[in-house]
Chains A and B, each alone.
Chain A
Amino acid sequence: MSIAEAKISRKQLNSLILILGLVFLLPVVIYFLGRRMDIRPKASLAGQANFRLNSTTTSVNAGQQVSVLVSLELTDPNIRVSAATFPLLYDGSKLRLSSVTPNTSSGFTDVVWLEQSGQTYPAEGNGQLKFMGMALVNKNPTANLSANTVTLANVTFDALVNGDAVIKFPDDNKALQVVGTSL
């Protein structure tokens, strides 16, 4: 009896279709699982970005203003940044937050405010440090993301009294975060 002549019952036919369906479905499932897993490691850029603070002057008198430029330096030229967040801490007894100008003119598209009213930073400084915080987001395809050194914001403080004052990022760098992708 040849194969063509063999009679297959309806039950056997259903089983065959089910098995074939599972065989075809398996690679699809693996493909989608693979895609999802692929996202996570790419979102981490550990050790490849530095947050920087720059100021044209570090010596001002009471009543004057001091501005600091917050920027992000990417050490790998193939890395593109899509979002960055940071808190900026300052000595609340000597400085008062005057204005914050986020960089949305080049590189980033949106600003997400985390703190703007000069609250005390809870994790450091024993209540002496206040902070402002923001995230900058680039809502664009990878090809339009920024590389190298990217300006984040210009922050201006009023000097309230004479003496030494601190403007700094937190000691615990978990509060600083950068995400993006490599080409």
Chain B
Amino acid sequence: MISSLPRNKLLALFIVLGLLAVLPMVIYLAMTRQDLRNRAAGSDEVGIRFSPTNIYKTEGETFDVSVNTYKIADRSIKASGVQVKLSVDDSFSINSAKCSEPFDGVPFTKIDGQSVTVICAISPASDPVDLTADDLPFAQINLTLNTPSHEGPLEIIIESTRVTEAGVAGQAPDVSTTGENATFKLATAAIGEAQILFEPAESVLPPDRDMKIMLNAGRFQIAFTRIVLKFNPSKLNLASEITPNPALSNIVEKTSMQQANSSGEAVFVVAASPTDSLPTGYFELASFKVKSVSQIANDNAAIDFLPNTMQVVESGSALLNTVRSPATFVMNTDSVSVSPPISKPIPPRENPCLDMTSDACYQQWIYEFTTVFNTTYADFNQDGTVNLIDYEIWRRTKYP
């Protein structure tokens, strides 16, 4: 039938059909471009990000998320206000949103379904805020993870941003980036316990000291850890970047040495990749070097874990409670320096030598041989003493 049409009508038909086909594509591209323009905010000199992020949440859990601003540029930037429009995953109920000091002088918040808009500015009578590389919270959102929640990543997506720089005559330039989204994952409630500690637990500084963060996971296979370290940066500094154990090869988040030494807080988040063999028993999570920056003779300092946002998750996405032990340092003393010093960890609640071939059992032998623990799980020949014979029995079992 089509072939019987005259040539000019056939041509017109093709043009009309072509236009009809192109029209949806043009509309789609036009909308996409609009969206990009929203996210491409200012001059990319001030970032916006959430804390905490990259963390597991359980169904029914209610928690706060801070929305923070931080300076990326080298130049001095003073801000008078910050605004952000967010899209929150529908697995979350949004309970409230509010501006935080000092950006609560002129607050505006709006919750519309899963969309949140916060516009937070300083009071007109206040001085603008001098931004630094450290996170400065400007808003706080309270969320509850619904029951049931869907599997997979749960996100808070930044739709648009604006950080208004103050002190530029006749202008209010936007210096923001597009921001970094927050990601949460669904976990089930704690089903066990893991011990986390430093090796060595006690040290003399200087010289600079190599430190290890050790995890005793017992029988659990570990798939994810979020570790937060806290120390006094006026006494103690990291002398190297944190090096996570490659057994959990996906480094989700890691505070740089410079940031850690500025704030006295370091976060590292590591997760298993699909090809990783999940670590279990007693194993090293990460290593780093510390140095003294104190000038006071016989000064004391410590590195501790900050438990509030720390997480250890096993292979079945269940949380493990953590039992933590800090590292302490004596600085600028003339004590004898030997390496490595004796550690003083926490005794296990279960016998780690039920599996005699495990590294956790070997570690137990060390602690019992050195009388750090007064248990005798590693007394394999049952002569009442944990000694080298017990080690040899362990070795032959491990390497038959």
Query: Would you call A118 and B336 a contact (CB within 8 A)?
Result: yes
Instruction: Give the docked Cα–Cα distance between A138 and B337 (Å).
Output: 24
Interface digits, B356-400 against A, CB 8 Å rule (1 contact, 0 not)? 000000100010011000000000010000011101110110110
Query: Would you call A142 and B392 a contact (CB within 8 A)?
Result: no
- Select which of A40, A84, A141 is within 8 A of B388 by beta carbon: A84
Q: How far is the CB of B330 from chain A (nearest CB, A)?
A: 12
Interface digits, A123-135 against B, CB 8 Å rule (1 contact, 0 not)? 0000000001001
> Given A40-B381, A139-B362, A141-B399, A113 and B338 touching (CB < 8 A)?
yes
Q: How far is the CB of B282 from chain A (nearest CB, A)?
A: 13
- Select which of A43, A85, A118 is within 8 A of B393 by beta carbon: A43
- Select which of A42, A110, A116, A142 is within 8 A of B342 by beta carbon: A116
> Given A141-B399, A142-B399, A180 and B340 touching (CB < 8 A)?
no
Is the CB of B341 closer than 8 A to any CB of chain A? yes
Query: Would you call A82 and B391 a contact (CB within 8 A)?
Result: yes
Interface digits, A158-170 against B, CB 8 Å rule (1 contact, 0 not)? 0000000000000
Number of interface residues of B (CB under 8 A): 22
Query: Would you call A39 and B393 a contact (CB within 8 A)?
Result: yes
Number of interface residues of A (CB under 8 A): 35
Chief secondary structure at chain A's binding surface? strand
Query: Would you call B336 and A177 a contact (CB within 8 A)?
Result: no
Question: Which segment, of A25-33, A50-58, A59-67, A95-103, faces chain B?
Answer: A95-103
Residues of A within 8 A of B395 (CB): 82-83, 138-140
Instruction: Give the docked Cα–Cα distance between A90 and B341 (Å).
Output: 20
Instruction: Give the docked Cα–Cα distance between A40 and B390 (Å).
Output: 9
> Given A112-B370, A114-B370, A139-B362, A82 and B338 touching (CB < 8 A)?
no
Residues of B within 8 A of A100 (CB): 338
Query: Would you call A177 and B340 a contact (CB within 8 A)?
Result: no
The residue in B341, B391, B393 that gathers the most chain A C-beta atoms within 10 A of its C-beta is: B391
Interface residues of B in 295-339 (CB under 8 A from A): 335-338
Is the CB of A137 closer than 8 A to any CB of chain B? yes
Instruction: Give the docked Cα–Cα distance between A76 and B362 (Å).
Output: 28
Instruction: Give the docked Cα–Cα distance between A118 and B362 (Å).
Output: 27
Q: How far is the CB of A48 from chain B (nearest CB, A)?
A: 14
Residues of B within 8 A of A39 (CB): 381, 392-393, 396
Query: Would you call A112 and B366 a contact (CB within 8 A)?
Result: yes
Is the CB of A111 closer than 8 A to any CB of chain B? yes
Instruction: Give the docked Cα–Cα distance between A177 and B335 (Å).
Output: 29
Q: How far is the CB of B385 from chain A (nearest CB, A)?
A: 11
The residue in A84, A116, A118 that gathers the most chain B C-beta atoms within 10 A of its C-beta is: A116
Residues of B within 8 A of A173 (CB): none
Query: Would you call B399 and A140 a contact (CB within 8 A)?
Result: yes
Smallest CB-CB separation from A178: which chain B residue? Answer: B388
Is the CB of A117 closer than 8 A to any CB of chain B? yes
Is the CB of A179 closer than 8 A to any CB of chain B? yes
Instruction: Give the docked Cα–Cα distance between A103 and B157 (Å).
Output: 55
Residues of B within 8 A of A113 (CB): 338, 340-342, 370
Query: Would you call A116 and B338 a contact (CB within 8 A)?
Result: yes
Smallest CB-CB separation from A97: which chain B residue? Answer: B336
Residues of B within 8 A of A43 (CB): 381, 389, 392-393
Query: Would you call A111 and B388 a contact (CB within 8 A)?
Result: no
Query: Would you call B392 and A179 a contact (CB within 8 A)?
Result: yes
Q: How far is the CB of A81 from chain B (nearest CB, A)?
A: 10
Contacts from A to B (Cβ < 8 Å): 39-40, 42-44, 82-85, 96-100, 110-114, 116-118, 132, 135, 137-142, 177-181
Contacts from B to A (Cβ < 8 Å): 335-338, 340-342, 362, 366, 369-370, 381, 387-389, 391-393, 395-396, 398-399
| Additional 16 contacts, C-beta under 8 A, given A177-B388, A179-B392 | A39-B396, A40-B389, A43-B381, A43-B389, A43-B392, A83-B392, A97-B336, A98-B336, A112-B366, A113-B342, A113-B370, A116-B341, A140-B395, A177-B387, A178-B388, A179-B389
List 20 A–B pairs whose Cβ atoms lie within 8 Å, in order of A's numbering. Answer: A40-B381, A82-B391, A82-B392, A83-B392, A84-B388, A99-B336, A111-B340, A114-B370, A116-B336, A116-B338, A118-B336, A135-B369, A135-B388, A139-B395, A139-B398, A177-B387, A177-B388, A179-B388, A179-B392, A180-B392
